[in-house]
Structure 1
Amino acid sequence: MSTTDNKYPMWPAIVHAKCPRCRRGDMFTTPMYGFKSQKMNTTCPHCGLVFEREPGYFYVAMFVSYALFVAEMVTLAVAISVLSGSRNPWVYVSIIIAVGVALSPFNFRYSRVLLLHWLTPGLHYHPEMSEDIIKENSVK
């Protein structure tokens, strides 16, 4: 299989929080929004990749989450200004805080997904890891 023949494309793998190496295994065991807190798998259930590359690896995800938060809030502030034309700071503060709290599960999940998919050197998609042979070997 050539490197240009991607059996599992990158964008659906990012959107569905799949493993960056095989793009088949789920990174999280729980849904993004729910009554239980988000739980991340320690290893990929399909290819066995250890998600936490080194101790404290996901502290870097806080910086990615901060960048996501700033981009979302600046966009929201511009949208509030354009749509409402309000100059009252409490309108901005209340809407931005409410939306920030509502988007925090999204930021938590996708900061880790983006960190693993784009910002981890040496971690790339391996089409051969996407095959079902790995699951068959674990059954034997």
Structure 2
Amino acid sequence: MTPTELKPAKKVHVLEAFIKAKCPRCRRGDIYSTPTYSFGGQKMHERCSHCGLHYEREPGYWYVAMFVSYAFNVAEMVTFAVGLHILTGSNSPWVYVGVLLGVIFILSPFNYRYSRVALLYWLTPGLNYEPWRAEDKFKVAPPEEKQD
């Protein structure tokens, strides 16, 4: 197949790409190599398999994702605490502590993954969607392995 026969890539909506944890620049390559909930942990690719974007923009880049994860946790705790109060009307702090600790534990893999994805998508200056990179003719060859 010649490059002229290649079809242009379908434009992927930002929310669809965010939910599927795709590369923010081309929205084709995967950011993670493992699912959200797995016993093996969450492993990120170093680079986008399609456009070659290096995900860790600078040393210590992922520390900012901790603040995003903290914001997710606060929003989830407030939401669940209000919902719990509406559903049960309980005044016992132990009910709230137990439920909220359970929610934090269950949602921690989600928060870990999507705090990094949100950081890449919306909080990184200069990193924008470039639809032309999604086309097959702009696919980057995989990096060569180092010879010892």
Instruction: Give the TM-score, by structure 2 length.
Output: 0.87
Q: Percent identity, aligned pairs only?
A: 59
Secondary structure at the aligned position of 1:57 is classed as coil
Aligned to 2:126: 122
Q: Could you tell me which residue of structure 2 aligns to residue 19 of structure 1?
A: 23
The equivalent of 1:104 in structure 2 is 108
Distance, in Å, in 2 between the alignment partners of 1:34 and 1:123 is 29
Whether 2:98 is the aligned partner of 1:87: answer no
Partner of 1:3: none
TM-aligned CA deviation for residue 97 of structure 1: 0.1
DSSP 3-state at the match of 2:141: helix
For 2:94 and 2:27, the matched residues in 1 are separated by 44
Superposition deviation, residue 134 in structure 1: 2.9
Residue 45 of structure 1 deviates from its aligned partner by 0.6
Residue in 2 that maps onto 1:63: 67
Greater radius of gyration (CA) = 2
Deviation at 1:138, TM superposition (A): 2.6
What is the CA deviation profile of residues 112-139 of structure 1, one whole-angstrom value per residue up to 9, with x for unaligned ones? 000000000000000010001133x638
The number of aligned residues is 133
For 1:79, what is the secondary structure of its paired residue? helix
Taking structure 1 as the reference length, the TM-score comes to: 0.92
Counterpart in 1 of 2:80? 76
SS of alignment partner, residue 62 of structure 2: helix
| 1:53 Cα deviation after fit | 0.3
Separation in 2 of the partners of 1:56 and 1:115? Answer: 13
Higher helix proportion (structure 1 or 2): 1
Q: Distance in 2 between matches of 1:138 and 1:87?
A: 60
Matched AA of 1:26: D
